[in-house]
Amino acid sequence: MNIFRTALLMAAMTALFMAVGALIGGQGGMILALVFALVTNLFAYWNADKLVLKMYKAREVDARGAPELVSIVHGLAMKAQLPNPKIYLIENPQPNAFATGRNPENAAVAATTGLLKLLNRAEIEAVMAHELAHVKNRDTLTMTLTATIAGAISMLAQFGLFFGGNRNSGMGILGTLLVVLLAPMAAMMVQMAISRTREYAADKTGAEICGNPMALASALNKLHRGAGDVSNEAAERNPATAHMFIVNPLHGLRLDKLFSTHPRMEERISRLSAMAGGSSAHQYMSQRETERPRSGHKTTRRRGPWG
């Protein structure tokens, strides 16, 4: 169902591009915009992993520096029948994680130090399984294709704004202005819908890889609250990367919520709970909460050798 919905949304974006191209740029303008967007996004596709890891000052770790984390990821990769990805740590108190790389052979997963401090081992396994699910489902390729089409639509809209559009379209000035304003917004909405669909798919596949949907539900709940409490300055400076993270790293501006690339957390947890065969993920999380000390009491967690 998720694959079908993604294909349907991508078909809708392609149709939107063709319609906007015909109305604003004509056939020549449409082809020019597509070629330029394709070249731009191909560069991003081949280099985005290096750029984003550098942007977040991620450092690669190995079995000597972070044996437990590396063991978790390698074990999950074997279950998922994937090559071992590169593993990175980000010195950031906000609990979060993401995957990047143009294909499974060139994949990388990254987790923040905040995530490793907040979650228990089962929850860390579930989060890493979610990130490997993005790799397995080739979501980087999907989002690159949608970014290409969305970028081409934006370029066509700018073409129409600066050059008056296709004089043979019969739209007139008002029609051209409406397309210029509404087409990029429509493309962005479709792009966000595809991103949310891929998150649902990664939740499902990740839960299957780790074999513990409730652990992923619990992790998502903790990460959602933790990300809301702790700022991620690098993400705030680069909001275009927000869709990569397992939970939204941006803070609660109204526009962040209106144009969120992530599904509602309640819905994600509900779907994982249904996967658990009717068991309540909320009850599981409540039980985890009772294990934590009451407010005002400090606790010392066992710190694993994360690096």
- For the stretch 194-218, pLDDT in tens is 888 899 999 999 999 999 999 999 9
Task: Report the C-alpha gap between 48 and 253 in whole angstroms.
Answer: 26
Task: Report the C-alpha gap between 198 and 210 in whole angstroms.
Answer: 18
Phi, psi values for residue 110, rounded to 5°? -135, 140
Per annotation, catalytic residue among 91, 105, 125, 131: 131
Q: Which helix H or strand E contains 298, and what residues bound it?
A: none
User: How would you classify the pairing of strands 97-100 and 108-112?
Assistant: antiparallel
- Active site includes 199? no
Residue 159 included in any domain:
yes
Q: In tens digits, what is the pLDDT along the chain, a chain of 307 residues?
A: 556 766 777 777 777 777 777 676 667 767 776 777 777 767 777 877 888 899 899 999 999 989 999 999 999 999 999 999 999 999 999 999 999 988 899 999 999 999 999 999 999 999 999 999 999 998 877 776 776 777 777 777 776 666 555 555 555 566 666 777 777 777 777 778 888 889 999 999 999 999 999 999 999 999 999 999 999 999 888 887 888 899 999 885 545 555 577 899 999 999 999 998 754 445 555 555 544 433 333 333 444 444 5
Q: What is the pLDDT of residue 38?
A: 74
Question: Residue 3 CB: number of other CB atoms within 10 A?
Answer: 11
**For the chain, where are the alpha helices, taking DSSP H only?**
2-20, 26-55, 67-80, 113-118, 121-136, 139-163, 172-210, 213-229, 233-237, 254-258, 265-275, 281-290
Residue 211 included in any domain:
yes
Q: What is the pLDDT of residue 269?
A: 95
Residue 301 included in any domain:
no
Q: What is the pLDDT of residue 259?
A: 56
Residue 23 included in any domain:
yes
> Quick check: 265 and 220 in contact, CB under 8 A?
yes
Residue 298 included in any domain:
no
Residue 300 included in any domain:
no
The total domain count for the chain is 1
Task: Report the C-alpha gap between 29 and 35 in whole angstroms.
Answer: 10
> Quick check: 33 and 21 in contact, CB under 8 A?
yes
Q: Residue 119 belongs to what domain range?
A: 2-290
Tokens 């989060």 found at: 127
Q: What tokens appear for 117 in the block?
A: 């401090």
* Contacts within 8 Å (CB) and 24+ apart, 187-191: 187/13, 187/16, 187/17, 187/149, 187/150, 187/153, 187/154, 188/150, 188/259, 190/9, 190/12, 190/13, 190/16, 190/146, 190/150, 191/13, 191/146, 191/147, 191/150
Sign of the dihedral through C-alpha 10, 11, 12, 18: positive
Q: What tokens appear for 260 in the block?
A: 């969120």
Residue 302 included in any domain:
no
Task: Report the C-alpha gap between 299 and 49 in whole angstroms.
Answer: 37
Residue 60 included in any domain:
yes
